[in-house]
Amino acid sequence: FFNKEGDFNNLTAAAYHKKTHLLVTGFASGIFHLHELPDFNLIHSLSISDQRIASISINCTGDWIAFGCSGLGQLLVWEWQSESYVLKQQGHFNSMVSLAYSPDGQYIVTGGEDGKVKVWNTSSSFCFVTFTEHNSGVTAVTFTSTGYVVLSASLDGTVRAFDLHRYRNFRTFTSPRPSQFSCLAVDSSGEIVAAGSQDSFEIFIWSMQSGRLLDVLAGHEGPISSLSFNPMKCVLASASWDKTVKLWDMLDSWRTKETLIMSSDVLVVAFRPDGKELAVAALNGQITFWDHENAVQTGSIEGRHDLQMGRKELDKITAKQAAKGKSFTTLCYSADGQSILAGGLSKFVCIYNIKEQILMKKFEISCNYSLDAMEVCEHRSLFFISSPPQDFGFDRRKMTEFGSMALIDEGGGGDEGVAIPLPGVKREIRVTCVRFCPTGRSWAATTTEGLLLYSLDAGLIFDPFELDIDVTPRNIHKTLSQKEYTVAIVMAFKLNEKKLIQEVIEAVPSNEVDVVCSSLPDLYVEKLLEFLASAFETSCHLEFYLIWAHKLLMLHGQKLKTR
């Protein structure tokens, strides 16, 4: 059918729903068609974007159609009968560069090379707002301490502040001469904004309230790579490629309080949450820890071997040699300040214990072999009969007497030849930013594979509480029918099934709520309040739940306060 139309070459995805005889086809131009088979009656035709549709899926009832466009990182769910979107999500077009958690850990903001700033909900994993005001790549993002303002720095020479109440860009900070901003920091009060420049080697300080430029800090002799405000004191730490970390005192009219000399270019600085220690990662792969008050180094971690780089297809040197030039490009302290998270240009993220200076755990970000430098073969042998030890960091089968096959163009001069990839064309795995959640229960990383979240809370579905053999859904329903409401509520909380708890609570007549609340054991009062708090977000029985909350707080408020 599509061959007749001359469209077959452009057809990129298709799905068929057996029950409704619905055929959905997607094309390279971003257009999709809905046909009814076997007569090929066109129901309708629409365009999603100008990128090719990579995959299509239809749900079991045949009402919803999902489309994926890999070029734009787009995911759409379309209800074809009402012609409306059920879901619309889009990731960053290029790789993400930076991320930050909100103070309560509920949201994550990311900035990408596509100039977009996106805010994501950590529980649903969906992006709920995208800011597109920047004209060039975003280099750094952060939240203020209130959690309602997001700041972003960009190579377009602006730092922008976005309001998460009204979703608008309410402040734009610029420098007198255009500068490309490479890093960003905001103090704990949220009043002072600092950004470092990578071309003029200066640090710019603005007031959030007025938007005015307060000061320009000069002194570094190389691009500014990282900035960090001390959470407890008015001190700003700046790292630069000139092999120094400078500490600026805000109260002493931004004078340089201290200059820490490093043995290599400094890539990133981070203060411990209590402000008493400073971590510095340098180009030589070392992480050093400093007591910045006395300018004394307190410890160091040799981290470059933990990055464990693979050997690329076209590399002339072994993986072990290549590791000498590797370093961490992002650091973050855990909430308790006892461990540090570090990532760089490799597929591993490492967690170190600071006191013991040892590697606690190593996370592998990806096992996708289509990325370069992913194969790392361990090669240990007791003895060799005639062959010398070899580096198995890459594919030996491609080695010939003329060198690596990857370097040989096999084409005969025509179009059918295999083009040798330019350097950097085959993507490498990179970790651009890592951040711990303020709650200390999870951490996130922006990588070439996307935004990844790692959590200690596995989100258990079945999580019973003081369960015994008689607590079953059948017995709970039986107790309800006998109008023993308090017992039924306690049993439902023991089973801890959300739907069942909701059913039991909504079965209690509103005039019985007072009696049930007064006879509820203290332990279950807190559980019920937690349930009510989450129910308010979604339930339509608002007044009924307010009666519950009111009665519980009137009867048990005093006890809860003392606890």
pLDDT for residue 432 = 93
Do 23 and 128 lie in a common domain?
A: no
Q: Whole-angstrom Cα distance, residue 220 to residue 557?
A: 57
Q: Whole-angstrom Cα distance, residue 282 to residue 436?
A: 21
Say which residues have a Cβ less than 8 Å from residue 353's Cβ, sequence separation at least 6. 338, 339, 360
pLDDT for residue 378 = 44
Q: Would residue 235 count as lying in a domain?
A: yes
Q: How confident is the model at residue 388 (pLDDT cuts 50, 70, 90)?
A: very low
Q: How many CB atoms lie within 10 A of CB 406?
A: 17
Helix (H, G, I), strand (E, B) or coil at 321: helix
Q: Would residue 386 count as lying in a domain?
A: no
pLDDT exceeds cutoff 70 at 389: no
Q: Whole-angstrom Cα distance, residue 450 to residue 430?
A: 10
Q: Which of 358, 258, 376 is closest to 318 using CA atoms?
A: 376
Domain encompassing residue 537: 473-562
Do 102 and 47 lie in a common domain?
A: no
Q: Which residue, chain included where needed, has tokens 């320009």?
A: 216
Q: Would residue 319 count as lying in a domain?
A: yes
Q: Would residue 217 count as lying in a domain?
A: yes
Backbone angles phi, psi at 485, to 5 degrees: -65, -45
**And the tokens for 463?**
């999580």
Mean pLDDT of 53-76: 92
pLDDT for residue 299 = 95
Q: Do residues 460 and 491 touch, judged by C-beta distance below 8 A?
A: no
Q: Whole-angstrom Cα distance, residue 490 to residue 500?
A: 11
β-sheet bridge partners, residue 249: 235, 255
pLDDT exceeds cutoff 60 at 488: yes
Do 366 and 447 lie in a common domain?
A: yes
Q: Do residues 126 and 118 touch, judged by C-beta distance below 8 A?
A: no
pLDDT for residue 286 = 93
Do 268 and 307 lie in a common domain?
A: yes
Do 45 and 111 lie in a common domain?
A: no
pLDDT exceeds cutoff 50 at 139: yes
Q: What is the largest CA-CA distance in the chain?
A: 91
Identify the CATH number of the domain in which residue 348 sits. Answer: 2.130.10.10
pLDDT for residue 239 = 97
Q: How confident is the model at residue 532 (pLDDT cuts 50, 70, 90)?
A: very high
Do 179 and 240 lie in a common domain?
A: yes
Do 72 and 119 lie in a common domain?
A: no
User: Which of 90, 107, 142 lies at the terminal end of a domain, its last residue?
Assistant: 90
User: What are the b/e assignments for 506-520, b being 16+ CB within 10 Å?
Assistant: eebeeeebeebbeeb
pLDDT in tens, 231-245: 999 999 999 999 999
pLDDT exceeds cutoff 90 at 446: yes
Pick the more confident residue, 2 or 355. Answer: 355
Q: Which amino acid is at 170?
A: F
Do 106 and 64 lie in a common domain?
A: no
Do 67 and 127 lie in a common domain?
A: no
Q: Which of 279, 325, 332 is closest to 305 using CA atoms?
A: 325
Q: How confident is the model at residue 313 (pLDDT cuts 50, 70, 90)?
A: low
Backbone angles phi, psi at 539, to 5 degrees: -75, 150
Q: Do residues 128 and 477 touch, judged by C-beta distance below 8 A?
A: no
- What is the secondary structure of 138-165 as a DSSP string? EEEEEE-TTSSEEEEEETTSEEEEEETT
Do 212 and 350 lie in a common domain?
A: yes
When mean pLDDT is compared over 167-171, 300-304, 314-318, the highest value belongs to 167-171
Pick the more confident residue, 414 or 557. Answer: 557
User: Which of 72, 90, 108 lies at the terminal end of a domain, its last residue?
Assistant: 90
Q: How confident is the model at residue 458 (pLDDT cuts 50, 70, 90)?
A: low
User: Which of 57, 90, 123 lies at the terminal end of a domain, its last residue?
Assistant: 90
Q: Would residue 382 count as lying in a domain?
A: no
pLDDT for residue 460 = 41
β-sheet bridge partners, residue 185: 194
The total domain count for the chain is: 3
pTM: 0.73
**And the tokens for 492?**
């439902």
Identify the CATH number of the domain in which residue 543 sits. Answer: 1.25.40.190
pLDDT in tens, 462-479: 556 667 788 889 999 999
pLDDT for residue 386 = 39
Q: Whole-angstrom Cα distance, residue 209 to residue 190?
A: 9
When mean pLDDT is compared over 19-33, 62-76, 152-166, 249-263, the highest value belongs to 152-166
Q: Whole-angstrom Cα distance, residue 442 to residue 439?
A: 7
pLDDT exceeds cutoff 90 at 425: no
Q: Which of 162, 164, 160, 197 is closest to 181 using CA atoms?
A: 197
User: What are the b/e assignments for 461-477, b being 16+ CB within 10 Å?
Assistant: eeeeeeeeeebeeeebe
Q: Would residue 415 count as lying in a domain?
A: no
Do 73 and 100 lie in a common domain?
A: no
pLDDT exceeds cutoff 90 at 266: yes
Q: Whole-angstrom Cα distance, residue 491 to residue 488?
A: 5
Mean pLDDT of 543-550: 94
Residue 294 CB burial class (10 angstroms; 0-12, 13-18, ≥19):
exposed
Q: Would residue 55 count as lying in a domain?
A: yes
Q: Which amino acid is at 122?
A: T
Peptide bond into 38 cis (omega under 30): yes
Q: Do residues 254 and 248 touch, judged by C-beta distance below 8 A?
A: yes
Distances (CA, A) of 210 to 162, 236, 457, 462: 15, 20, 42, 52
pLDDT in tens, 213-232: 999 999 999 999 999 999 99
pLDDT in tens, 146-193: 999 999 999 999 999 999 999 999 999 999 999 999 999 999 999 999
Q: Would residue 364 count as lying in a domain?
A: yes
The beta strands (E) that lie in 96-253 are given as: 96-101, 107-112, 117-121, 127-131, 138-143, 149-154, 158-163, 168-174, 181-186, 192-197, 203-207, 213-217, 224-229, 235-240, 244-249
Q: How confident is the model at residue 413 (pLDDT cuts 50, 70, 90)?
A: low
Do 485 and 358 lie in a common domain?
A: no
Mean pLDDT of 297-315: 79
Mean pLDDT, rounded, of the chain = 86
pLDDT in tens, 368-380: 766 665 665 444 3
Identify the CATH number of the domain in which residue 18 sits. Answer: 2.40.10.480
Q: Whole-angstrom Cα distance, residue 500 to residue 473?
A: 8
